[in-house]
Amino acid sequence: MTPVEGAPDYLERAARPRLAYRHVAGRGPTIVFLPGYMSDMAGGKATALFDWAAAEGHACLLLDYAGCGLSDGLFADQTLLDWRGDVLDLIDAKAEGPVLIVGSSMGGWLMLLTALALVQRDGPARVAGLVGIAAAPDFTDWGFSDAEKALILAEGELREETPYGDQPYVTTRGFWQSGEANRLLDAKIPLACPVRLLHGEEDKDVPPAISLRLSTALASEDVQVTLVKGGDHRLSRNTDIALLVDTVARLAG
């Protein structure tokens, strides 16, 4: 049995849905994986990273956002900041000391928002580093046409077919407005920790230029962008996952 098989643990909260998570204790920093939009902790990258961390004695934390995966709550009720709150609640509950946050796609945006909140509250030592996988900050801005934005505002949601699952992608007005209120790329992002950004050259969903914009916006002097030849948005080939694990291992020490 691998560490991610079996029933998850749950974090009970008074005012918000309970959250499904998986945690393995070990040496720090605690590696925290943040999945993408309408994704969960059962994905290949999360599973591979958790298994590697457990085998190597690193602390690692996976979670499902409220309304996603095995967590409680309705997906349509959640906003970007709600999900940031989910991440912060679980970090506070399970991760002592510094964290190394890994964010995939939308999880890359939450990675940045979470790191900013932790640094503001606890100081820069709380965030040991960041690893983005096709990080998608500000996608409510660049990811939709003007017509799609108008439809979201007028009708309350946008439904789109996706190649990544049977269910359509649903973007609600509440989520879109939360995203627009928390855009990051047009100003300096005051994070000084090491940052590694992995991006497939063939990504059709998040242009590789977004990782380059993010690199420019970050205050950190230790930012590296790796463009992966032939890599798509998911970066889930065996070689891609090996690159991810190696990147995390180098930052985790």
Q: Domain coordinates of the chain in residue numbers? A: 9-142+188-252
Evaluate whether 159 touches 169 at the Cβ level (below 8 Å).
Answer: yes
Which of 71, 104, 105, 211 does the annotation list as catalytic? 105
The pTM for the full model equals 0.95
pLDDT of residue 212: 98
Query: For the ranges 3-7, 33-37, 68-72, 194-198, which has the lowest average pLDDT?
Result: 3-7
The residues that bridge with 218 in the sheet, in sequence order, are 189
| Cα torsion angle, 201, 84, 116, 54, sign | negative
Stronger pLDDT, 66 or 4, i.e. the higher one: 66
CATH superfamily of 9-142+188-252: Alpha/Beta hydrolase fold, catalytic domain (3.40.50.1820)
The rounded distance, in Å, linking the Cα atoms of 214 and 184 is 9
Q: What is the pLDDT of residues 38-60, one digit of tens each?
A: 899 999 999 999 999 999 999 99
Residue (of 101, 106, 96) closest to 117 by Cα position? 101
pLDDT averaged over every residue in the chain: 95
> C-alpha 250: how far from its chain's center?
19
Is 129 within 8 Å of 29 (Cβ atoms)?
yes
pLDDT value at 1 more than 80? no
pLDDT in tens, 150-176: 999 999 999 987 766 667 889 999 999
The pLDDT of residue 3 is above 80:
no
Q: Is the pLDDT of residue 246 over 60?
A: yes
Order of strands across the sheet that contains 19-24: 9-11, 19-24, 58-63, 27-34, 99-104, 127-133, 195-200, 223-228
Query: 71, 104, 233, 240: which one is catalytic?
Result: 233
Over residues 87-94, the mean pLDDT reads: 98
* C-alpha to C-alpha distance for 248 and 63, rounded to whole angstroms: 18
- Residues 113-164 pLDDT 10s: 999 999 999 999 999 999 999 999 999 999 999 999 999 999 999 998 776 6
Q: Supply the pLDDT for residue 164.
A: 62
Question: What is the mean pLDDT of the segment spanning 84-108?
Answer: 97
Q: Note the pLDDT of residue 166.
A: 67
Q: Which amino acid is at 229?
A: K
Residue 81 pLDDT > 90: yes
Choose the catalytic residue: 82, 203, 205, 240.
Answer: 203
Extract long-range pairs of 72-75: CB within 8 Å, 24+ residues apart. Answer: 72/17, 72/18, 72/19, 73/16, 73/17, 75/38, 75/170
Directed axis angle between helix 106-122 and helix 80-94, to 10°?
60
Residue 105 known to be catalytic: yes
